[in-house]
């Protein structure tokens, strides 16, 4: 799996960790970000999120089910990923960004949309410091950076 992730993102990973999830979206479905979630996202650091969408019929965006990325201390969403059948969304997520699924309303088609995803943590990112050295840092699971 890591060869696929490295090929797709162009990033290197040190001691990668991952998490997976699955949703069956129908009217009334949504997710929320709690304090514990925000704290955990901050601890695990930078990640690459992969979202895969499957279903029989495409919904209008007004039906909801959109994956919304918000950033700490920012009112407007950073990114919106509408559920698009047969598509994959790849998101490079900073440690202060949090995804949630927006409420699916009555405009949604009767057939559900299935969302499968996984996140990979441990990306090694170049440090664009003032001296321009390009040193690399690893965003480790405890939220600390190491060179």
Domains and CATH numbers, the chain: 2-146 (2.60.120.620)
pLDDT tens sequence across 29-73: 999 988 887 777 777 778 899 999 999 989 888 999 999 999 988
pLDDT score of 135 more than 70: no
How many residues can be counted in the chain? 147
């Amino acid at each position: 799996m890591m060869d696929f992730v490295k090929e797709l993102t162009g990033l290197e990973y040190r001691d990668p960790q991952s998490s997976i999830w699955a949703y069956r979206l129908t009217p009334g479905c949504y997710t929320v970000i709690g304090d514990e979630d925000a704290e955990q996202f901050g601890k695990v650091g930078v990640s690459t999120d992969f979202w895969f969408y499957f279903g029989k019929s495409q919904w209008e965006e007004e039906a909801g089910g959109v994956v919304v990325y918000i950033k700490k201390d920012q009112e407007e969403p950073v990114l919106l990923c509408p559920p698009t059948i047969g598509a994959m969304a790849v998101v490079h997520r900073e440690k202060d960004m949090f995804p949630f699924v927006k409420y699916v309303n009555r405009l949604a088609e009767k057939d559900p949309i299935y969302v499968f995803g996984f996140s990979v943590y441990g990306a090694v990112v170049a440090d664009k410091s003032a001296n321009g050295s390009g040193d690399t840092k690893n965003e480790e699971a405890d939220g600390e950076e190491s060179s």
